[in-house]
């Protein structure tokens, strides 16, 4: 059991246990461990241990700690007092120091990764907001056209066709790092997978992986935005009966239904796009603004030295 405890001590010692071990060695309660105190504790464990070994070891720990302090404070002149304070004492546990180093490296890597993602996202965020605003304007325009339609509104139906064409272009070309040709190639490949899967009665194998700068283009591919309103665009073409003749008339109900379905689909696109922007902003805020490290433990509340208190005047 003793051997097991010794082998696991460095793995599990932390927090109050580490602080308590320091206080147990600090017999005089000075807040530092001198060479004599450390030698008295370690001497029973090894007959070959000498005071010179202890002093050399303390000098080595103080030198490492002083270099670290000098790097933080900018003051290269650090005096060795041949005593171990708590920050120097914890350096006697190399396993713990390695764990702390790994945590520090991981935090640095996370911050660097967050800065990289932040740069990618902010390069495209403004363009995405402009794209959303333009899509909202086009949605509002076709809504106004639909509200003013009547049986003699052939010119308004032609204007509606133009607006739907513009909306289809916006849906097929969302902002992002891919150019138009590359976006078309990606969409064509995914569309072929979907058709093949539908023939085999199997769900399409689409991996929805969104990048911080390509999320809108990626989702456009996975949700097939380029053909989202194709059915409505075809329906609008049939809204005019006998076009170009004196007896031409507009099927107001069919045209209004087309506008209703298009606006509903656009609303879903806008809702997803806004939500994704807010989600990425929240993620980047978490990545960049990490929690501050906890303050070092001052006392373990065990084995504390007795300190004299000034009299209060009431006899206590």
203, pLDDT greater than 90: no
Q: What is the pLDDT of residue 149?
A: 81
Q: Where are the alpha helices (DSSP H) in the chain?
A: 2-12, 15-25, 35-42, 51-73, 86-89, 94-147, 154-172, 180-199, 215-222, 230-237, 252-288
303, pLDDT greater than 50: no
Q: What is the pLDDT of residue 196?
A: 65
Q: What is the pLDDT of residue 204?
A: 47
135 contacts 120 by C-beta, under 8 angstroms: no
For residue 140, the 8-state DSSP code is: H
Highest mean pLDDT among 47-61, 230-244, 270-284: 270-284
Highest mean pLDDT among 155-169, 175-189, 207-221: 155-169
- CATH architecture of the domain 2-92 equals Orthogonal Bundle (1.10)
239 contacts 233 by C-beta, under 8 angstroms: no
Secondary structure of residue 189 in the 3-state scheme:
helix
Q: What is the pLDDT of residue 163?
A: 93
316, pLDDT greater than 50: no
65 contacts 87 by C-beta, under 8 angstroms: yes
> Which tokens go with 15?
């927090």
44, pLDDT greater than 70: yes
Q: What is the pLDDT of residue 223?
A: 85
Q: What is the pLDDT of residue 265?
A: 94
142 contacts 160 by C-beta, under 8 angstroms: yes
Q: Assign 106 a pLDDT band (cuts: 50, 70, 90).
A: confident
Going by CATH, does the domain composed of 124-288 fall within 1.10.287?
no
Highest mean pLDDT among 65-79, 94-108, 118-132, 189-203: 118-132
- d(Cα 93, Cα 87) in Å, to the nearest integer? 11
Q: How far is CA 80 from CA 28, 54, 62, 87, in A?
A: 20, 14, 6, 14
- In this prediction, residues 53-65 reach a mean pLDDT of 74
pLDDT per residue over 125-159, tens digit each?
A: 999 999 999 999 999 999 998 888 887 778 888 89
Q: Answer with the residue of higher pLDDT: 248 or 307.
A: 248
Q: pTM higher than 0.85 for the full model?
A: no
238 contacts 253 by C-beta, under 8 angstroms: no
Among 86-90, 119-123, 184-188, where is mean pLDDT lowest?
A: 184-188
Q: Where are the alpha helices (DSSP H) in 148-214?
A: 154-172, 180-199
Give residues with Cβ within 8 angstroms of 63, minimum separation 6.
80
Cα dihedral value 196, 199, 203, 209, nearest 10 = 20
- In this prediction, residues 215-228 reach a mean pLDDT of 87
**Domains of the chain: which residue ranges?**
2-92, 124-288
What is the pairing mode between strands 83-84 and 33-34? antiparallel
Q: Assign 169 a pLDDT band (cuts: 50, 70, 90).
A: very high
Quote the distance between the C-alpha of residue 204 and its chain's center. Answer: 29
pLDDT per residue over 228-245, tens digit each?
A: 999 999 998 888 776 666
Q: Assign 41 a pLDDT band (cuts: 50, 70, 90).
A: confident
Shared fold status for 2-92 and 124-288: no
Q: Answer with the residue of higher pLDDT: 20 or 160.
A: 160
- d(Cα 149, Cα 154) in Å, to the nearest integer? 9
């Amino acid at each position: 059991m003793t051997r097991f405890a010794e082998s696991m001590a460095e793995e599990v010692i932390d927090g109050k246990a580490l602080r308590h071990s320091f206080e147990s060695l600090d017999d005089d309660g000075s807040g530092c461990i001198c060479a004599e105190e450390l030698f008295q504790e370690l001497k029973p464990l090894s007959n070959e241990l000498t005071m010179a070994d202890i002093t050399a070891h303390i000098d080595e720990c103080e030198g490492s700690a002083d270099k670290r302090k000098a790097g933080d404070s900018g003051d290269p002149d650090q005096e060795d007092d041949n005593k171990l304070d708590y920050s120097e004492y914890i350096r006697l546990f190399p396993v713990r120091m390695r764990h702390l180093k790994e945590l520090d490296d991981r935090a640095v890597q996370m911050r660097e990764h967050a800065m990289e993602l932040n740069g990618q996202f902010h390069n495209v965020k403004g363009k995405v907001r402009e794209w959303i605003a333009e899509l909202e304007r086009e949605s509002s325009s076709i809504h106004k056209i639909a509200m003013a339609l009547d049986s003699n509104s052939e010119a308004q139906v032609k204007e509606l066709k133009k607006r739907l064409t513009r909306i289809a272009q916006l849906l097929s070309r969302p902002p992002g790092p891919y150019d138009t040709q590359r976006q078309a190639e990606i969409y064509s490949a995914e569309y072929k997978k979907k058709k093949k899967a539908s023939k085999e009665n199997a769900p399409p194998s689409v991996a929805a992986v969104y990048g911080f700068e390509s999320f809108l283009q990626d989702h456009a591919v996975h949700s097939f935005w380029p053909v989202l309103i194709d059915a409505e665009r075809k329906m609008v073409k049939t809204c005019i009966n006998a076009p170009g003749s004196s007896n031409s008339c507009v099927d107001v109900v069919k045209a209004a239904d087309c506008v209703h379905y298009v606006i509903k689909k656009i609303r879903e696109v806008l809702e997803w796009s806004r939500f994704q922007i807010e989600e990425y902003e929240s993620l980047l805020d978490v990545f960049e603004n990490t929690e501050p490290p906890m303050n070092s433990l001052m006392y373990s509340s065990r084995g504390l030295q007795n300190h004299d208190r000034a009299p209060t005047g009431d006899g206590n």
